Structure 1
Amino acid sequence: MLNCAVLLVCSLLLAGIASAHVVVYPQESTQGSYEKFTVRVPSEKDVPTVKVEVKFPVDAVAVSRFEPKAGWNYQISKDADGKVTGVVWTATGEGLSATEFGDFGMQGKVGDTATAITWKAYQTYKDGSVVEWTGAADSKTPASVTTVKAKPAGAAADNHGATAGHTAAASSGTSNTALYLSIAAVVLAALALIMAMRKRGAAS
């Protein structure tokens, strides 16, 4: 029991440490897929986070769009070829306090030959201090990494960039939802009929 308790405490501590890092989701993707990436930024100090910069490895991902976020504006960086190499979000108000976190959305295409996307992030606090989330996985300030899997053999992308496998999965999910709703409607109708018959029996 003591060993189990120790393991539980350690896992909770590790989870707390991990959650305090700047992380980009999803943490796993597929070559050639179009993704919405979310940069999750927790504030770890008593002063607010007022700026977040993320740099993109252009050989692994092509980020092209950014989701507007209330209370923040953003500025895009490009290289000589016009490729987007990074973005800086800057707070227009107080920023993120010590008890808050923020999600910053962006969209892009995963490289066709990418095996991993390493996101280098720089978190600036109101007191001017900067935390560089650029280190190795076992460091105190690790860079967030999205692991990239190979595209399934025979998978073809549609006009919107989704693979056939993703489209089929979405269609299957939609079909299942419709089926479940139909079953639920039949069950509710049967229950209503039974209740009505009971009321008529009681009245007679």
Structure 2
Amino acid sequence: MKKIGALLFAATLAFGYAGMASAHVRVAPDEVAQNAYQVFTIRVPSENEGVKTTEVKLDVPDGVEVSRFEPYPGWSSVIEKNADGKVTAVTWKSDGQGIGETEFVQFNFQGHVAEDAKELVWKAHQTYSDGAVVDWTGAPDADTPASVTAVTAAGGDGHGHGAGSAADKPDGDRDPLTLGLAIAGLVAGLAALAAALLRRRTR
């Protein structure tokens, strides 16, 4: 029983750390190939107590051409372009009350990574219902870091392959939220096992 208790404690700690890590606005996947067509996903958690997230703006890096956006119920999007017609930013706005501190939204969009891209730095700006704005534009070690996507060399055929969204990543490359949910399931399973063993011992 001591071993089961230790497992439960360790899993609970791991789940807590995963929840903390997923509290940032981030863009998935974490890595793409040069010259690849890719579906990106921006995940926006709402953190501030007593207010809701009603808007998020994402600045599009120079190393990617964004072309399509998946509609999301209850939210509308406004696209900004430069003189050459390149999408430079997109703003998602809630059509209703927004999302509370225990909720999140995620938006999918498609883009083509440039042949010479080295790194994609996604700067986001999260607006709350009280007018406060959190700028996710800092360095990786900042309190509000920008999300960064690493860019690798294209495949041997000269083209990258990466049309999948964050949900298509292999198990070894799961994002913090997915990992947290998996650990939560493990905790529930271990708790059920411990309860069954206790009932058996008391008989």
Instruction: Say if 2:61 is the partner of 1:69.
Output: no
Q: Deviations over 1:59-92 (max 9, x none)?
A: x100011111110111000111111001000101
Indicate how the Cα distance of structure 1 residues 136 and 106 shifts in structure 2: closer, same or farther if over 3 A, else same: same
CA distance in 2, matches of 1:107, 1:88: 15
What is the distance in 2 between the residues matched to 1:8 and 1:136?
Answer: 30
> Among residues 142, 146, 151, which one is paired with 2:145 in the alignment?
142
Residue 198 of structure 2 corresponds to none
User: Partner of 1:119: helix, strand, or coil?
Assistant: strand
User: Does 1 or 2 have the higher relative contact order (CA < 8 Å, sep 6+)?
Assistant: 2
The counterpart of 1:47, out of the listed 34, 46, 51, is 51
SS at 2:18's partner residue? helix
Tell me how far apart the structure 1 counterparts of residues 128 and 90 of structure 2 sit (CA, whole Å): 17
Partner of 2:134: 131
Seen in structure 2, the aligned counterparts of structure 1 residues 142 and 11 have a Cα distance that, compared at 3 Å, is: farther
Q: What whole-Å deviation, never above 9, does each CA across 1:119-151 have from its counterpart, x for those lacking one? A: 000000000001100001011101001111101
Aligned residue for 2:192?
A: none
User: Over aligned residues, Cα RMSD in angstroms?
Assistant: 2.4
Percent of residue pairs bearing the same amino acid type: 48
How many angstroms apart in 1 are the aligned matches of 2:87 and 2:124? 15
What corresponds to 2:120 in structure 1?
Answer: 117
Matches of 2:75 and 2:11, distance apart in 1: 38
Question: Secondary structure, in 3 states, of the residue corresponding to 2:105?
Answer: strand
3-state DSSP of counterpart to 1:16: helix
**Which stretches in structure 1 are left out of the alignment for 5+ residues?**
167-204
Letter paired with 2:109: M
Report Cα offsets for 1:1-48 as digits up to 9, x if no partner.
9xx999877755542222000010111110011011110000001311
Matched, 1:32 2:35: yes
Alignment partners' CA distance in 1, 2:14 and 2:145: 18
Report the Cα distance in structure 1 between the residues aligned to 2:14 and 2:144, rounded to whole angstroms: 19
Q: TM-score by structure 1 length?
A: 0.70
Where in structure 1 do 4 or more consecutive aligned residues deviate above 3 Å?
A: 4-14
> Whose Rg is larger?
1
Give 1:57's aligned residue: 61
SS at match of 1:99: coil
- Of 79, 100, 104 in structure 2, the residue corresponding to residue 101 of structure 1 is 104
- How far off its partner does 1:97 sit? 1.1
Amino acid at match of 1:27: D
Structure 2 unaligned blocks of 5 or more: 164-203
Match status 1:21 vs 2:19: no
1-structure distance, mates of 2:9, 2:141? 22
